[in-house]
Every structure is written in C-alpha cells, then in structure tokens.
Chains A and B, each alone.
Chain A
C-alpha cells in the first residue's frame, strides 16, 4: 500500500518535469482535452437530464404537505444537483469512460514496448503520456460538471412540465430562492479534485502494467475501482471541510 503510494507520488513528480519541447506537449494536451471533453459530452448530457428529472420527482414525492411550499422542490433539486449529483455521479461515470480508456491506452503502450521506445529516444515518458491527461482532466471535467449542472436543472424543469406534482413556475422560483454561492465553489473544487483523481490514478495503473493483454484489462479495472473509491472518499473530505 505505502509502496504503491510512493510509486504514485514519484510518477506524478516525473510527469511534471520540464517538457523537452513545449509545442509537442501542447498538441498532446489539446488532443486529450478534445478526447475527455467533447468525447464525454454525450454520456454526461444523458445522465444529467435523467438525474435532474428523477431528483425533482422524488423530492416532490417526499414533500407532499400543505405546510411546505412547492417552491422548495426547486431549491432542494438545485442544491443536491450542484453539490452532489452532478460532480460525483459525473465523476463516477467519467472514471468508467475516460479513466478506463486512459489506463488501457497507456497499458497497451507499455506491453507493446511503445513506452520503452519513448524512453530510448530520450523522451520523459511519464511527462509526455501522463501530464497532458492530467491537465485535460482538471480543466475539462469541471467544464463537463458545469454542463451537467445546467442539464440536470433542465431535466428537473422537464419533469415538472411533464407531471402535475410541481408547477414549472414554482420550480423556477425554487431554483432562485435562497441561493448560496458557496455551493458552486464546493462543486468546482470537487470537480477539479475528481478530474485529478481519475486521470492520475488510471494513468498510474496503466503505466505500471506488466504482462500482456490480460494485465491491460486488469489495470483498467483497477484504475476505475480505485478512482471510484477515491472520488467518494475525497467527496466526503471536501464536503466536511467546505460546508
């Protein structure tokens, strides 16, 4: 456990050594940003709309009382979407989509000697392969979470429009009432940390793959499992510290 943690920290240190040529690394960063950001937009849009709609319906179901104003449904949906559903569920989905792809890509490069080829050329392989992925993760995953929040709230609106539990006017009023901007900060901090966790852990697992195609699959699985565990753990820590 401590041996792995040490290897992980050393790998991160190697990943952020001065690049051999900035323009080549920059092109890799752009490529990874497109892969992480644009490539994940579809799945994030779909899950966000459904999660927002389900959150609204379930909140409305639990708050059926004449003593509770209907607008509160919008407020609860907004807070739970921004604080928890969008960053955490998006991150868990992205660990599966982006993380497994990164771990298997780097793992395949390892077992087919492509990483050895980079090192023979004098290229800092962790820097060239991992740092662009981490930069793409910490920039694009927060942007995806912003998209997820907007679409989640739209999903809630659609759920209100499609049912008679809460009117759309009450829902929109609830969204704007008693808004505390600190939840946006918490959401952004979570998204940045989750982006780092997914990309760094999965890259680490891929980089130290040893064996053949079977081990590449195992590395990808380990990367996703450890990312999910760390996402939930860091979610708890950030919520405890910032709220």
Chain B
C-alpha cells in the first residue's frame, strides 16, 4: 500500500501541488487523471522520489520514503517498476540487456537465470524472440511492452505508469491497458497510472484521483465517475461529443 499525505510541491513561485492526500491499495489500478498542467506527472514524480515534495509524506507500506536518503531508498526502489511516457529504454542496449539491467545490478543470479527471467518477461508481454533488437528497431507499442517487461523484471510490489497510451493507436492502447490490468491482478501489485485517456479511465480505473489546479478534486471508481455532479470532472470526462453521447445513453 502507498499512502501520500498532504503533498505540496512548489517550483519557484509556482505552487503545482496543493496538499494532496490519498491511499493506493495493492491489486488495484489507481489512476491519477486531470487536464494538462493539473499536476499529475509532478505528483507521480514526488511519489517515486524524482522530485522531493516541498511538504508532505510518501509512505510505502509504513516506511516514510520522503525522510530517507539515497542509500535508504534503494531497497524500496528495487521493489518499484516504472513505465515512462516515452518508455525510456536504454538506447545502447538490446531489449534483453534492458530487461536484464536491474537484475545485473541488484541480484546475484547467474547469467542463465537472468536470461530465463528476461525471456519470461518478454513472453509475458508477447514479445518472444525480440531479445536482440535495439530500441530504435521497435515500434511505439513494442517499446511500451519492453518498458513493462523491464519494469516487472525485478518482480515489483509497486508499478508506476506515466501516460501509457500516449502516441499509441486505440487498439494498442487497449492491449497495453489490459496488460497493466492483468499484471496488477496477477501479482497483486499496487499500480499507479497517470493518464488522461478516457478509455483507460473507463476500462481499468478501479480507483481514480481527479486533480484540478493542483488539488484533489474528486476520488472514486470508474463506476461512479459517470454519475458524479462534480462540474470540473464532468467537463474533463465528457469533453468529447462521443463521451457526451455515451453519457446520454446511460
């Protein structure tokens, strides 16, 4: 379980996050949604430690991550997997080397064991046999899947995903969402997804946090989101004519 308590983040005079608190439970897809500039990615970066919050705490299973120094954070970080918006695969390494990289650094496994794990992760994301390709040789969707394979290589307890559907066609987006959902349920991972894709929200949003102007504006599930009377959330969710038509049919 991940708990965030009263998170504030300021860049110069710009207060991006204004006291956000939430609990992200294991085995659930926790979605952070909101318009551009609402603070979604900043919040995600504060949770994983890429930004230090100006105020507030991030707690991983009872351990206060915010108070820890770099060395103390390492054991928690080895339990974190993250898929970046642009996949962030290491260009100089093959697919297999990318997946084996954290295993090389943080485990004492033999090369054969690491290779087995890499092959298992690739099979899990339906990329069997792509071991020797470089990131430049992969499509956007394949890069995302390799990013997921690398993220799960260390059998993480927490999975963070930043805009998993950006730059992907609708069919591939759904496949990536389904994959994230399956992994979350299968391994009981605490998954936190930052997105503004409504297909993801309706498809996998077990627990949704809606941010607006740096504040938590609404919290609930995908079943509740269509019936809310929160004006800002309605403006966000039903911005497109397609969603307005879908709402009318409900």
Contact = CB atoms under 8 A, between A and B. Distances in A.
Interface of A: 20-21, 24, 108, 112-114, 116-117, 119-124
The residue among B50, B77, B89, B105 with the most chain A CB atoms within 10 A of its own CB is B105
A116 B104 contact: no
B56 interface: no
A206 to B, nearest CB: 14
A117 B85 CA distance: 11
Nearest to A18: B71
B54 interface: no
B74 interface: yes
B88 A116 contact: yes
Contacts of A121: 77-78, 80, 101-102, 105-106, 154
A108 B86 CA distance: 13
16 contacts: A21-B106, A24-B104, A108-B91, A112-B86, A113-B86, A114-B88, A117-B82, A119-B77, A120-B48, A120-B160, A121-B78, A121-B80, A122-B75, A122-B77, A122-B105, A123-B105
A111 to B, nearest CB: 9
B187 interface: no
A120 B77 contact: yes
Interface string B88-121: 1111000000000110111000000000000000
A121 B90 CA distance: 13
A24 B70 contact: no
Nearest to A120: B82
B74 A122 contact: yes
Contacts of A112: 86, 88, 91
Contacts, number: 54
B14 to A, nearest CB: 15
B84 interface: yes
B84 A122 contact: no
A124 B74 CA distance: 9
Report, nearest first, the 9 A-B pairs whose CB atoms are least far apart: A122-B77, A113-B88, A117-B88, A122-B74, A113-B84, A120-B82, A20-B105, A121-B102, A114-B88
B73 interface: yes
A114 B91 CA distance: 9
Interface string B46-88: 0011100000000000000000001001110110101011101
Given A112-B86, A120-B49, A121-B80, 16 more contacts: A20-B105, A20-B106, A21-B106, A24-B105, A112-B91, A113-B85, A114-B90, A116-B50, A117-B82, A117-B88, A121-B101, A121-B105, A121-B106, A122-B73, A122-B75, A122-B77
